[in-house]
Chain A
Amino acid sequence: MKDRGTSAVVTGEERVSEDREGVGRVAVITGASRGIGRAIAVELSRAGYSVVIAARNVDDLTETLNSMTSYPTSKHSLIPVDVRQEEGVRRLFAEVAAQYGYADILVNNAGYVDPVGILEMTIENWNQTLATNLTSAFLCTREFVRMNKRRGGKIVNIASTAGLSARPGWSGYAASKAALINFSLTMSEELKPYNIKVYCVAPGRTATALRAKLAPGEDQSQILQPQAVAQLVRFLISPGGDFIDQQVIVIRKPV
């Protein structure tokens, strides 16, 4: 595990004067090695959170870590883990408990897509898509609830507008995101007694490597940027987000 501890890396262009509502709070982000996950990690680190970034690829995670802001009050950790695996998720939260004692925030962001038509779809592709996009959220949520059922917390699931309508050629991805949306709504109700709030964010076309797979050749400068999703997540996990509940929050760039 790489740990930046309390080494502060604050450059002139970072917004050090803004409110750091995340000071003293710990956020765990899955799929933080690239794209939206990385943007969320960067944004939350700016807000003063101590951030645990999790994904399989250590090199990419390290790049994320190097993009993050550290304050004397924050401590970030990088944990290489396959969140599709029950044992891996247990280890992730055991390490969080050992290092921080708890986590206040969980962002289920791990995502995978290999878009093919139904006749080309292999069982391996289907299973991997559901395992990454849905099962990982279930496993991480369960561990987070075990950790926090007495102290509450917030979970943000990153779904997709693909989960809200028909997407020919993306059946596994769209089905997994639709399932994640319902899982989020159900958890939002089920976890109320534990004071755990659950949000579901459904970004539209977002400039990520995953999107490039879905729409090769698209001009990514013309679509939603991951930072916009990250800012929305930051708002949801702040006290301002307490008044939002039981809905899928769609974020997309206006056409």
Chain B
Amino acid sequence: MKQSQMLDCIVLAAGQGLRMRNSVPKQFLRLAGKPLIIHVLETLEQLNEIGTVWVTYLAGYETTYLQLFEQYGLRKPKLVPGGATRQWSVYNALQCVSSDRVVIHEAVRPFFSADLLRSMLALDAPAVVPTVPVPFTVSMGDTWMTAELNRSMLHNIQLPQVFDTKVLREAHERFYMPGDATEDSLLVFRLGKPVRFVPGLEYNIKITTPLDLALAELIYREG
């Protein structure tokens, strides 16, 4: 594994944001006046370890992405078509990746830190994944409880994640169907490869609902 090589990064930004109940795709929603995707891309822009940033785009919005890249003077992002599912968006972008390792992040998680990513890059594993503890009780079942889960053994998985590109490609080829994986380390795990957990950041929230956006404003103001 070449440690000195600049890594490609995939930023998932092709979502329609249906849970946000907003006509604007959530990656373009504004936090402190700036689109969520720009918060993410500006942090990546400052990281010398990151080379090209492959941004998966929502069809019909190409001009919006490109205009934002230009307005904010971003040099790293390049567009790649999003897929019908999150998994297939990653698959599409993986076809463009040329580095031995690849970082995967998402446009609606603006509070990740450069320090976190650097600490993950220092680890040598097929997949490096930040997690935070699950602070509430969880159980399984439909109408009736069918199983008890020990929350001390559970992990809330975050992004960004770092992968061995060859391993991730293999996982995506093997588990291409049904294409509904909600994140990538699961695919690597299914492939039988080790997935390394590292402590994530409590404030590195994913902005999915209007409540998340309100919380994000608070996090941003508190710095």
**Chain A residues within CB distance 8 Å of chain B:** 146, 149-150, 189-190, 192-193
Contacts and interface: CB of A to CB of B under 8 A. Distances in A.
Interface in B41-71: 42, 45-46
Contacts of B33: 190
B73 A193 contact: no
Closest 7 CB pairs of A and B: A146-B73, A149-B73, A190-B33, A190-B32, A193-B42, A189-B32, A150-B46
Do most interface residues of chain A lie in helix, strand or loop, or is the interface mixed?
Answer: helix
Interface of B: 32-34, 42, 45-46, 72-73, 223
A192 B221 CA distance: 11
Nearest to B34: A190
6 contacts: A146-B73, A149-B72, A150-B46, A189-B32, A190-B34, A192-B223
Contacts of A149: 72-73
A189 B46 CA distance: 19
Nearest to B72: A149
A102 to B, nearest CB: 14
Given A149-B73, A192-B223, A193-B42, 8 more contacts: A146-B73, A149-B72, A150-B45, A150-B46, A189-B32, A190-B32, A190-B33, A190-B34
Nearest to A193: B42
B77 to A, nearest CB: 15
Contacts of A192: 223
B16 to A, nearest CB: 27
A150 B72 CA distance: 11
Contacts of A150: 45-46
Nearest to B39: A193
A47 to B, nearest CB: 30
A66 B205 CA distance: 57
Contacts of B223: 192
B150 to A, nearest CB: 40
A98 B45 CA distance: 24
Nearest to B71: A146
A149 B45 CA distance: 11
Contacts of B73: 146, 149
Contacts of B34: 190
Nearest to B74: A149
A53 to B, nearest CB: 27
Contacts of B42: 193
A189 B32 CA distance: 9
A92 B33 CA distance: 27
Name the residue among A150, A190, A193 with the largest chain B CB count within 10 angstroms. Answer: A193
A82 to B, nearest CB: 24
A146 B73 CA distance: 7
